[in-house]
Structure 1
Amino acid sequence: MKTDHNSKDEALAPLRAIGLKVMMAFLYANVFMIVPVGLALGSSETWITFALALVTMIAPTWCYVAGRSDQAARIVFGIALTLFPILFVYLFRGNVWQMDMHMYFFVCLSFMVLMCDPRPVIISATITVLHHLSLHFLAPGWVFFGAESIARVLLHGFLVGCEVVILFVAIRLIGDLTLRSDDARHEAEAARSRAEEALALSKAAEERAEREYRDRLAEAARKAESDKRHRVTAEEIDTSIGVLIGDLRNVADEVARQATDITGISRALVGEASALRESSEEAVGSIINMVTDAEGLAGSIQHVGRNAQSAQNVAQAAASSIATLSPGIQKLAHEIDAARSILQLVSEIANQSKLLALNAATEAARSGEAGRGFSVVAAEMKQMSTATARAAGEISAKLTGIIEATSAFRVQIDGTIAHVDQITTSSSAITTAVEQQRLATEAIATCMNSVRSKVAETDTRSRKFTDVAAENRAIADSAINLASQLTDRAEALNRRMEGLLAELRAA
């Protein structure tokens, strides 16, 4: 019984899922109709009714989002469908249309047929009857507009009960029809599977019979063809193997001839390789001597370069020493000029003293006996001034000679510095040339070493070439032996094939 119940639930599950989806849309349509209807009626309970509708939709929305369509979810949807007519009757409270809104209970009860479950219908009908009875005693104005009586409530309850019975029967019929339809579908699928299996077995048997028939025909054709192939095969083997044996003989002769040629070429190569090795050894010796000479030349050039550098250093030192004399001579000339200026001043003072002594002597002569002492002093001053002027002239002449000697010495120093600069320039040029010669000599030595390496490598390769030529000659000798063996094998193969062909033709 439980298995039948599960089968019925499985068969009704797709229909219930569609029904719950339609009911969810219907419920939300009711929610959004409350506000415009309430505003049109001028009801003061519009917004509280809208809030209660939103609260009513919490549980159905959760079940729908969770994808539930079990019995509990169906009961939740049934209760929600019952509560919305109650909310609309409450919204129409005091309006002449309130009585007509009771018909909405029957509409919502009819919607529950989509869930194919009588339990939500029974629960909703019970809630409806209890709602009418309780409000009849507690708040009659919330249920009926105008005259209300218990008879009217009982009549509504009776009508609701009648609809519940009708819906219950309809739901049972829908469930039974759905279950029978599902069973018929399963039986049809099983019958189709059995038919497909039988068809597959029939096709397999037909294909197997067809294959056996084709195999028998092919076997007969193969047997008839086998004898013919034996004869043709014998002729083909005779022709092809004969040609093959002839080709083997020709190949063996050609290999022997080429091996003989290779042997001669290998002997010639060995001789040439020996000569090449001797030439390489001589070249290596000559290059070693050239490298030794180049290294000696490089040493000599380096020695010359060092001497030229030493001469350049000495010349530069001499030029520096001579150059230090020029400022001293210049200073001496300035000092002599200053001394000449002083002597000129002394000479002028002596002339003034001489003039003063002459004036003093004149005044003393005028004074007579009283100026005699002063006359003596004037005479002494005249003599001293004359001596001073003469000494100053002699000193000036000496200073002039010194200046001329100094000028001549300075000219000699300038000439010496010029010669030393020329020596320095020549030494630098010699040093540069020696450095270039040294670099060229080193490059020559490097090239000689590289050439020596190449020649040594050539000598090594000539030795390897000699060894390879010897190996080629040995291989050529081996090829000659193999050609001889190949000829013998070809003759043996020819004899063997003649025997096999005779047996095949006789078969």
Structure 2
Amino acid sequence: MASASRSRKPPGIITALSSRHPQFSAAVCPLHPGRVERRMELTGIRKNGAFALIVIAWLCVAVIAGISLYTASGWAPVAIAVAVTLIPSVIVRSGRADSTARIILGGTMPVYPAIMLYQAAGSSLQMDVHMVFFALLATLVVMCDWRAIVAGTAVIAVHHLGANLLIPAWVFPDGADLPRVLLHAVIVLIEAAVLIQISLQLEQMIERQAEARREAERLEQEAASTRDAIAAKQNQVIGALGQGLKAMARNDLTARIDQAFPEEYEQLRADYHDALEGMRQSLEKISGVATRIDESAGDVSHASNDMADRTERQSATLHDTVATIRTVSDSISDTANRAVEARHVLDAAQGEAEKSAGIVERARVAMTNIEHSAREIDQIIEVIEGLSFQTNLLALNAGVEAARVGEAGKGFAVVASEVRALAQRSADAAQDIKTKIGASNEQIALGVSVVSETSETLERITTRILQISEFVATIAGSVESQAARLREVNGTVGALDGITQQNAAMVEETSAAARSLAEQSRTLAQEISRFRLQQTGSYHAAPALARAA
């Protein structure tokens, strides 16, 4: 491809000029195509530069005319300037930009500051006009040719040296000044050297740009050829793929691409076949899965219906259970209230029993005190009996002594007899009191014993009442706890009833979803049956689903 590209005619300007001007083609064909292209590029730039210099030249003529009007130097300088300008103008107008034309332009440009220097002779501006030489010399760089710069430099040197020797007033206001001429010459040479270097670099840069442009055009042609070849291959590939895709659009998954692709696209054909085979296998699997989905959907539907019936029965049972638990909970709550009331009654009975125990205890203490008092009375009676016995003995002794006395002691004997009788009655009364006090002591002891037994019985009753109160409190707490648990159970069962009802609704939704899934699976089977999956010429269908549909 590269050799074919190199055998073609040079592109761009050379091709156009060769086709329009056969004589040009015959002249440049022996040259290297790249060099000719660079020459043409550089020639165009130099023509543009020459036109710019002609414009500057005529501007200088206008300036010279203005100076003539201002300084009254006559029209000779203007005529000379016009005459000098006409020659390069005619050359440029003819379209020339060869080395001769460039040298003429290079030698023409310093003439204008020389004329201006003549016009400014004797004025304060004469030295300033020397700057115009440097400025116009710098404009020659647009020609991209060192010859024009050398020509301009030579004209400046000849003018300064000749005028300094022949007519010094035309150069410097103070007359001949060779050192100043040499200084100006050095400055001009430095400027010329820099300008020559710039022009050479510009020429090289333009040549490199032309070469780069030509290389870009060559690469563009090669790229175009490559694109054409690639486009042809791509058209072949796209056409074959288009036929395959049209077959796929007709639901035919057996259409293969038998025509071989270019080597770089052969993998695409293999990928197409792999994708086609993958789609065919996937659709066959989907068909089988759709059949199994339809069967499973039927099983799910039956199971959902059965579950719905069971859920309804379970919901009814849970509803009855909730009512029963609510009744039991109410009964337990009533029992708990009764237990609390019984506890309050037992607490009151315990208080009364404790009060009775206190009273009995005080009675027991009183009986004990009475018993002690009876014992003290018994001791006093024993003392009285002792006194009666002593009194009786004394009365007996008094009677004996009165008998001994006789009549004189009869009255004393009567008194002694009475005292003895009184002592006897005191002894009898004391004995009787002792007997009664003994009997009373026995009753008191019996009462103390009964009171003690009563106190102990009341203590046991109080203890039993306390135990019963604790048992009743425990029972009341247990009943209350059971009532709370039954309420929790009632709430849980109620929530379970709600969940069961939700489950019933979800089961109904599941049943509906199963029916919808069965319908969708049948629709999927019908859609799959539209695809041709075998090479037998018939389209694949799912028999089980077709029968189910």
TM-score, with length taken from structure 1: 0.47
Structure number with higher relative contact order (C-alpha < 8 Å, ≥ 6 residues apart): 1
Flag the structure with higher helix content: 1
